[in-house]
Amino acid sequence: MTTIPNRHKTGPGTTPPWWFAAPAMLLFAFVVLIPSARGVYYAFTDWDGLSPDFSWVGLGNFTDMVDDPDARQAIWHTLVIAVAITVIQNGFGLLLALGVNTMIKSRNVLRVFLFAPAVVTPIVTAYLWRNLLGPDGAVNSLLGAVGLGGWRQDWLGDPQLALWSIVGVIVWQFGGYSMVIFLAGLQSVPKEIYEAAAIDGTGPVRRFWSVIRPLLAPAFTINLMLSIIGGIKLFDQVYALTGGGPGHATDTISTLIYKDAFTLGEFGYSIALAMVLTIIVAVASTSQYFVLARNERAAA
Amino acid sequence: MNRYRWRTLGLEMVMIAVAVVVAFPVYVLVNLAIRPAADTSSPIRPTTRPTLDSFTQAWQEGGLGGALVNSVLVTALSVLVVLAVSSLAAYPIARATAKWSRGMFLLIMLGLILPFQLAALPLYQTMRDLGLLGSVWALVLFYSGLQVPFTTFLYIGFMRALPRDFEDAAAIDGCRPLEVFRYVVFPMLKPITVTALVLNAISVWNDFFTPLLYLSGSDQQTVPVALAGFVGQFVSDWNLIFAALVISIVPILAVYFALQRSIINGFAGGLKG
């Protein structure tokens, strides 16, 4: 998008007053900024969420975390989920987008239907899948019906599998979301470029890699950001599918924050976990932003 | 390259097969919701005796009616407030070159990164001390603030690409800043307003974590919380649970299919902003 140069930098009375921003900034401060700042402070205390008496424990919560296998596991699960979703969901979404962005007759209908799961409430799809993935659920029934009875599993009850089942549910729900963003990117590629490449005799793989992929850079940036940050913060689906179980096999940082605060009353420790989550999100989003922005410039 | 060939037909078949696999869970959802509770055959076998019993029972026992009203109310009010305050805030932040404008922009960027989990517990305490727990009004207040960074960010990006000429002309003609915003700037923001409306409405409607925290233990519920309570109550009565899930999905999908073009463009809209 080209920016139109401002001819009158300081036109007569055209700079809007700062107080236009006041209502938004006050709401934002009340809901996000002030509580977050207090959160950072509480992370270094043993606050229980109720009593006004609490004491400063320095890095105590963080050293406890190092010794807490549940916390270490939850951090690990969170990273695994975020990376797995980012790779699988975007791979799937990209294939869907390339398939839909062709001459096939059903392309408009497919686009609408494949995107539909993304607007449904995640907790609803998670409860649906909790049943489908059960020992007597539809997934196992279907495997039996097509002669793959040997593949039947307790998808959510097996600690080795449960995390991957959650990833599968999320890919099912949001693959269409990635697709829509890739499609918008593909449709911004001028037709002449495809045709020129086709006339030059480049094969489909080569055409994708050296012609289309660079032009999709902005779509990649948005998709990767959305899926990695969504994956890191994941709560609803885990809560509804497994509740973090079996045992702690699928606990993420967010489910552990919830449990530690509301079932154990360890608010200080819980907020320290939220700090770790914040740091991971900040590192992931800024580093991704810089890497992808560099690639976008290189592709431009 | 623009012709329909055998290979295109093959691709068409593959894509439709993928869509059928993606739609399979929805088939099971409906199939289980409409079959009699006594039917314990395989969940993938189409039922021969469809009934709406589970729906009536789920509706009567799930408190879904009240929850739907609350969800509509919370979503509509929050989105209205957040669009109003964010578009108004984006105007000076996008236009002014002063230090405060840069500072506010950086705060907005910070707000984009901060995960809500960090603020959730201290805010829970504040809401409790103000006696706002268990009230849907607190949720409206909450989302109005939570969605500000993202929405303002969308507006700022869009506004910076707009020419100032119309604003300048209106100001020269004697419009006061608020009038310039109301009659000149805001109408030009329509495309990004649609995007912001869609994205905010869906994330507020679907949110589960916040109402789980702030409404738990009260009789005020939004749809996701009501469903979680319902599942907790009818643990393995899946016909009933699935009927409740269908009831909760129908309004969203109805809106989605009616407005699919604007909604899909809304989601893809961040790309052009």
Q: What per-residue confidence (pLDDT) applies to B69?
A: 93
pLDDT band at A9 (very low <50, low <70, confident <90, very high): very low
A82-140 pLDDT per residue, tens: 999 999 999 999 999 999 988 888 889 999 999 999 999 999 999 999 999 998 888 99
- Cα distance from N-terminal residue to C-terminal residue, chain B: 31
Q: What per-residue confidence (pLDDT) applies to A290?
A: 81
Same domain, B127 and B10: no
Residue B154, domain member (yes or no): yes
By C-alpha distance, the chain A residue nearest B245 is A124
- The SS3 assignment for A56 reads strand
d(CA A41, CA A297): 39
Q: What per-residue confidence (pLDDT) applies to B2?
A: 61
A290 touches chain B (CB under 8 A): no
Number of compact structural domains in chain B: 2
Give A131's contacts in chain B (Cβ within 8 Å): 28, 32, 43, 238, 241-242
A103 touches chain B (CB under 8 A): yes
Residue B172, domain member (yes or no): yes
Q: What percent of chain A has pLDDT over 90?
A: 46
Domain boundary assignment for chain A: 54-299
- Between residues B1 and A267, the one the model is more confident about: A267
How does pLDDT run along chain B (273 residues), one tens digit per residue? 567 788 889 999 999 999 999 999 999 999 988 988 888 788 888 888 888 888 888 888 888 889 999 999 999 999 999 999 999 999 999 988 888 888 999 999 899 888 888 898 889 889 888 988 888 888 999 999 999 999 999 999 899 888 888 888 888 888 888 888 999 899 999 989 988 998 899 999 999 988 988 887 788 899 999 999 899 888 888 889 999 999 999 988 999 999 888 888 888 865 543
Same domain, B41 and B105: no
Q: What per-residue confidence (pLDDT) applies to A105?
A: 87
Q: What per-residue confidence (pLDDT) applies to B61?
A: 85
Give A11's contacts in chain B (Cβ within 8 Å): 164, 167-168, 171-172
Domain that holds residue B202: 61-269
Has residue A2 got a pLDDT over 60? Answer: no
Burial grade of A211 (CB within 10 A; 0-12, 13-18, 19 or more): middle
Residue B65, domain member (yes or no): yes
pLDDT band at A1 (very low <50, low <70, confident <90, very high): very low
CATH of the domain at B174: 1.10.3720.10
Whose structure tokens read 């922009």? B105
Residue B258, domain member (yes or no): yes
Residue B1, domain member (yes or no): no
Average pLDDT over residues A218-236: 89
- The SS3 assignment for A45 reads strand
Chain A: nearest CA to B64, how far in angstroms?
14
Domain boundary among B51, B70, B87: B51
Chain A: nearest CA to B219, how far in angstroms?
19
- Cα distance from N-terminal residue to C-terminal residue, chain A: 13
Beta carbons within 8 Å of A3's beta carbon, 6+ residues apart: B160, B161
Closest Cβ opposite residue A17 in set B123, B177, B242: B177
Residue B109, domain member (yes or no): yes
DSSP A105-155: TTHHHHHHHHHGGGGS-HHHHHHHHHHHTSTTSHHHHHHHHTT-GGG---T
Same domain, B85 and B46: no
Beta bridge partners of A56: A45
A41 touches B116 (CB < 8 A)? no
CB contact (8 A) between residue A39 and residue B118: yes
pLDDT band at A231 (very low <50, low <70, confident <90, very high): very high
Average pLDDT over residues A228-247: 90
Q: What per-residue confidence (pLDDT) applies to A210?
A: 80
CATH classification number, A54-299, choose in 1.10.3080.10, 2.30.330.10, 1.10.3720.10, 1.10.760.10: 1.10.3720.10
Amino acid found at A2: T
Same domain, B190 and B133: yes
d(CA B177, CA B115): 35
- DSSP annotation of A246 reads S
Closest Cβ opposite residue B268 in set A13, A114, A180: A180
CB contact (8 A) between residue B118 and residue A24: no
B175: left (phi over 0), alpha (psi -120 to 50) or beta: beta
Using CA atoms in the order B191, B195, B197, B203, what is the torsion angle rounded to 10 degrees?
Answer: 180
Has residue A10 got a pLDDT over 60? Answer: no
Same domain, B233 and B187: yes
d(CA B55, CA B63): 12
Whose structure tokens read 């295109």? B8
Same domain, B45 and B102: no
A18-65 pLDDT per residue, tens: 899 999 999 999 999 999 999 899 889 888 777 777 888 888 889 888
CB contact (8 A) between residue A184 and residue B224: no
Residue B56, domain member (yes or no): no
Chain B: nearest CA to A292, how far in angstroms?
14
Catalogue the long-range contacts made by A148-156 (C-beta closer than 8 Å, 24 or more residues apart): A156/A130, A156/A241, A156/A242, A156/A246
Nearest Cα to B147, choosing from B221, B209, B203? B203
Same domain, B204 and B99: yes
Average pLDDT over residues A211-240: 88
Same domain, B139 and B30: no
Same domain, B131 and B217: yes
Burial grade of B47 (CB within 10 A; 0-12, 13-18, 19 or more): middle
B119 touches B51 (CB < 8 A)? no
Closest Cβ opposite residue B245 in set A17, A128, A262: A128
